[in-house]
Amino acid sequence: MTDSELPRLTADVPGCGGAFKLVPEDFEVEEVPAYLPSGEGEHLYLWLEKRGRDTREVVKALALALGVSEDDVGVAGMKDRQAVTRQLISVPARAEPKVEGFALEGVRVLWTKRHGNKLRTGHLRGNRFRLRLRGVKDLGAARETFSRLVERGLPNYFGEQRFGRAGDNADQGKLLLLGQRLAKRPDRFQRKLYLSAFQSRLFNRALVERLRAGTLATALRGDVLRKEETGGLFVCEAPEVDGPRVAAFEVSPAGPLFGPKMPASAGDVAEAEARLLVAEGITLEDFKRGGGETEGGRRPYRVRLGSPELVPEPSSEGGEDVWLTFELPRGAYATEVLHELLKDG
């Protein structure tokens, strides 16, 4: 199921119309770090701004320019190519003298500072987005959709970027878990990408079922619930108690990222999740073949939009342009907000 075919929380509101990301400046994203560098240590943090470059491309160029291994370069998250993005990247502090000579078109080093540890995947609180929709035809629909997402939360789909340009990353991951050879042996980065994509596809299917059943924001007996403040997980045993906590956005139902260490749900919820595996012809045991890449976990079915703002401005091309500003926790996709607004299916 492609992104445009996924069911939407605001399906009863018409699409607002408009065009997105005609130029990189229409999509700005800035990391919200989990912590800031201390000023001392064996690693050097670089606050980078880039246009028209993806994160992996910058990592390769940095490693070459600084004379270090790509494995020595740390990032907290991967960022889009067709955007203006700002993010932290860490390199060994011994390379500091060479940083001033680093040059790559579309990339600027805004500041550097030392820290004690290497930056690793997930070392961020989230991302701050500023997106421009050009030529919006129905401003009222845009406002209504955005306000509902602020109130109810955004369905936490994995975006189409996760599944590759050809859309076959998940199929490749499934073959790896079944112990089959791929046409071309993947490198370590590709292997991780493929396996994660397969887990992501199954999560999206579970989320589709919750949306269609109208239980996105409902505590079901047997649900694994996630605490918004701490990320702690527990199984719902009393929906009448946990239901108001879900309504208050204190906790949220969390869907499956299948693997041997995935916290188990119970009852009817566990049976529904098991049916997803049966439909794919795969077992929980198969995920052990993925090793550390597919240990499993839980992902909330919805996420909050932090610091939300919608600002229209007149467009010279007819209609109005709309600037959307909001924050999302790490791992959530800003493009899902756009799909809700545009109804581009």
pTM of full prediction above 0.75: yes
pLDDT digits (tens, 9 = 90+) for 130-189: 999 999 999 999 999 999 999 999 999 999 888 988 889 999 999 999 999 999 999 988
In 3-state terms the chain splits into helix, strand, coil percentages (rounded to 5) of 35, 25, 35
Q: Which member of 26, 80, 138, 321 is catalytic? A: 80
Pairing of strands 43-51, 84-92: antiparallel
User: What pLDDT score does 5 carry?
Assistant: 82
For residue 164, what pLDDT is reported? 86
Q: Mutual orientation of helices 335-342 and 139-152 as an angle, nearest 10°? A: 130
Distances (CA, A) of 303 to 104, 110, 220: 35, 30, 18
The residue with tokens 């403040």 is 229
DSSP output for 193-231: HHHHHHHHHHHHHHHHHHHHHT-TT---TT-EEEETTT-
pLDDT in tens, 96-111: 999 999 999 999 999 9
Task: Name the average pLDDT for the chain.
Answer: 94
Contact 77, 31 (CB under 8 A): yes
Above 80 in pLDDT, residue 34?
A: yes
In the chain, the amino acid numbered 118 is K
Provide the pLDDT for residue 120: 93
3-class SS string, 138-166: CHHHHHHHHHHHHHHCEECCCCHHHHCCC
Please confirm, yes or no, whether 171 is among the known catalytic residues. Answer: no
